């Protein structure tokens, strides 16, 4: 007999089904609780609420485990290309050599964006944040491909949208970067691999057809994209699912995910971390002063890049990135004082009872910005790079939500406002 849980409310007992995941995780299915008892559950920020079952990513926050489709992130980051991992996340299996080639070729044939999209840059005010631009441009793809608006179109057509998104995202990210510099656009070169092509569009020059990104930079970028590829039901992935659950199209669902990622408590933290490290450096490098500020309940300051909703031991991605930051800076011969401040801050925090007791550890954003900076990206652009890496995860979450025929996301609430009262006309108030 399948497992159940008993909940006792006002002397009455209700038996609810228990769901067990493939890693032994348990959940009480409360979806019928209201119809049985009149009660709902409440959980602001969904700290203890599973919104779905999912077969894409497993993470164990206590043990610091992250796996995509059963494969450890450490193995994927050490051995794969970003598109190989994207294929895995999107399709559930690692590709064969032929499958990967076909996937890469398919993507490389859709990298151009409609010339009309360049006109959008004329409308963006100078200095607009790149994440706002990215969200707008991805949303506008739905205007260029209106067939994507039909929620009942065949799977083949959905697959084309997925390939388009994967193909056009690097082009759009590079356009935003080039336009911010006032430089002419470098068009996609379909003979290059995904990461090299992106770097070429970003750092290559129209006047220099022989530009080749440093292999160290290509490798670092590839690893960073893999480390960001998916992270189960985080704020932006949940946003993509919630928006998609109304049968809104994939482009607009992803644009919403980009907006969610932008916030400083989520992907925007990578920009905030670098700005914080800069501020500490410019303030004389007194790490302890900032640790004390973060501990002070009357000070809104938080140690950016520390803490995680799920990881309560260490973030496995941060471990890989920290090593990568050391390697990349050494190989590129960059001596960045910011790295020393970051290391000092990490040691001080990890030895401080406040951070130890609250289980606050460096997260993925703590070291990624240092690498992005070494690669030559401006601070404001860091979250765009996170979005570029997270794209396959968002798409896969959207596909799973759709294939599982999940109902429209529509939480309930407990009303705490005014009791019914008599209306008072304007002239009597
Ligand atoms: N600095 C100082 N104190 C912190 C920090 C921090 N970075 N993070 C959490 N705390 C404290 C909180 O004040 C709270 O203390 P209290 O229990 O005395 O009230 C306690 O630790 C728990 O924190 P919550 O905010 O309740 O935890 P939650 O799971 O809601 O938030 C979050 C997690 C948003 C990541 C939080 O740790 C944070 O703001 N970190 C800084 C921003 C950041 O790095 N975000 C990136 C996350 S990773 C990602 O999205 C890719």
**What mean pLDDT is reported for the chain?**
95
Mean pLDDT of 164-186: 97
Q: Is 307 left (phi over 0), alpha (psi -120 to 50) or beta?
A: left
Which letter, b or e, does each residue of 196-220 get, where b requires 16 or more Cβ atoms within 10 Å of its Cβ? Answer: bbbbbbbbbeeeeeeeebeeebbeb
Specify the residue with its C-alpha closest to ligand 1, atom 35: 308
Mean pLDDT of 99-111: 98
**Of all helices (H) and strands (E), which one includes residue 318?**
helix 316-332
CA 355 – CA 361 distance, rounded (Å): 7
Ligand 1 pocket, residues with Cβ under 6 angstroms: 45, 265-267, 269, 294, 302-309, 358, 360, 363-365
The pTM for the full model equals 0.94
Is 238 within 8 Å of 54 (Cβ atoms)? Answer: no
Q: What is the DSSP letter of 93?
A: S
CA 193 – CA 189 distance, rounded (Å): 9
Q: Looking at the annotation, which residues are catalytic?
A: 308, 365
Specify the residue with its C-alpha closest to ligand 1, atom 22: 358
Ligand 1, atom nearest to 234 Cα: 50
Locate 45 and state its tokens.
């920020």
- Say whether 13 sits in a helix, a strand or coil: strand
Ligand 1, atom nearest to 366 Cα: 44
Q: Which of 121-125, 308-312, 392-396 has the highest mean pLDDT?
A: 392-396
DSSP 152-174: T--HHHHHHHHHHHHHHHHHHHH
Domain ranges (residues) in the chain: 4-50, 73-230
Which has the closest alpha carbon to 61: 233, 214, 215? 233
Domain 4-50 classified CATH 2.20.28.60? Answer: yes
How many angstroms separate the alpha carbon of residue 307 from the centre of ligand 1?
5
Mean pLDDT of 178-184: 95
Looking at domain 73-230, which CATH architecture does it have?
A: Orthogonal Bundle (1.10)
**Range in 22-31, 129-138, 213-222, 390-399 with the lowest mean pLDDT:** 213-222
Pocket probe for ligand 1: among 257, 307, 359, the residue whose CB has the most ligand atoms within 8 Å is 307
pLDDT at residue 422, as a whole number? 97
How many angstroms separate the alpha carbon of residue 358 from the centre of ligand 1?
9
Query: Sorting pLDDT into bands at 50, 70 and 90, what band is 207?
Result: confident
How many angstroms separate the alpha carbon of residue 265 from the centre of ligand 1?
8
**Tens-digit pLDDT profile for residues 3-19:** 999 999 999 999 999 99
Mean pLDDT of 291-312: 92
**Tens-digit pLDDT profile for residues 223-269:** 999 999 999 999 999 999 999 999 999 999 999 999 999 999 999 99
* Length of the chain as a residue count: 429
**Tens-digit pLDDT profile for residues 331-355:** 888 888 888 898 899 999 999 999 9
- Say whether 81 sits in a helix, a strand or coil: coil
Query: Sorting pLDDT into bands at 50, 70 and 90, what band is 1?
Result: low
How many angstroms separate the alpha carbon of residue 325 from the centre of ligand 1?
24
Which letter, b or e, does each residue of 372-382 get, where b requires 16 or more Cβ atoms within 10 Å of its Cβ? Answer: bbbbebebbbb
Q: What is the DSSP letter of 408?
A: P
pLDDT at residue 268, as a whole number? 94
pLDDT at residue 266, as a whole number? 94
Locate 91 and state its tokens.
């399709």
């Amino acid at each position: 007999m399948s497992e159940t849980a008993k909940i006792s409310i006002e002397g009455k007992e209700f038996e609810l089904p228990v769901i067990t995941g493939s890693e032994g995780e348990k959940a009480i299915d409360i979806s019928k609780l209201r119809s049985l008892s009149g009660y709902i559950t409440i959980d602001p920020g969904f700290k203890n609420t599973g919104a779905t079952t999912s077969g894409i990513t497993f993470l164990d926050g206590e043990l610091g485990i992250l796996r995509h489709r059963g494969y450890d992130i450490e193995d994927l980051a050490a051995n794969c290309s970003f598109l190989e991992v994207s294929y895995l996340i999107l399709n559930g299996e690692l590709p064969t050599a032929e499958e990967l080639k076909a996937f890469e070729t398919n993507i490389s044939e859709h990298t151009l964006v409609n010339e009309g999209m360049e006109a959008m840059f004329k409308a963006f005010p100078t200095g607009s944040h790149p994440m706002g631009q990215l969200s707008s441009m991805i949303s506008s793809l739905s205007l260029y491909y209106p067939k994507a608006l039909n929620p009942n179109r065949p799977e083949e057509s959905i697959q084309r949208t997925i390939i388009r998104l994967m193909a056009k995202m690097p082009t759009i990210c590079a356009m935003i970067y080039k336009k911010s510099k006032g430089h002419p656009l470098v068009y996609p070169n379909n003979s290059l691999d995904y990461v090299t092509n992106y770097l070429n569009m970003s750092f290559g020059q129209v006047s220099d057809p022989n530009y080749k990104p440093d292999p160290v930079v290509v490798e670092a970028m590839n690893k960073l994209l893999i480390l960001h590829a998916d992270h189960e039901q985080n704020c932006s992935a949940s946003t993509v699912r919630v928006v998609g659950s109304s049968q809104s199209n994939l482009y607009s669902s992803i644009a919403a995910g980009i907006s969610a990622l932008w916030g400083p408590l989520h992907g925007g933290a990578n920009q905030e971390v670098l700005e914080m490290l800069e501020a500490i450096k410019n303030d004389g490098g007194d790490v302890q002063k900032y640790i004390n500020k973060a501990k002070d309940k009357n000070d809104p300051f938080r140690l950016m890049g520390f803490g995680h909703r799920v990881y309560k031991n260490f973030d496995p991605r941060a471990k890989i990135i920290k090593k990568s930051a050391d390697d990349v800076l050494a190989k590129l011969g960059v001596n960045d004082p910011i790295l020393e401040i970051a290391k000092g801050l990490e040691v001080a925090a990890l030895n401080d009872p406040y951070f130890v007791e609250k289980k606050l550890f460096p997260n993925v954003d703590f070291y990624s910005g240092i690498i992005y900076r070494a690669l030559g990206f401006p601070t404001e652009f860091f979250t765009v790079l996170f979005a570029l890496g997270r794209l396959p995860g968002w798409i896969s979450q959207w596909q799973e939500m759709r294939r599982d025929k999940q109902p429209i996301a529509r939480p309930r609430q407990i009303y705490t406002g005014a009791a019914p009262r008599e209306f008072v006309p304007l002239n009597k108030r």
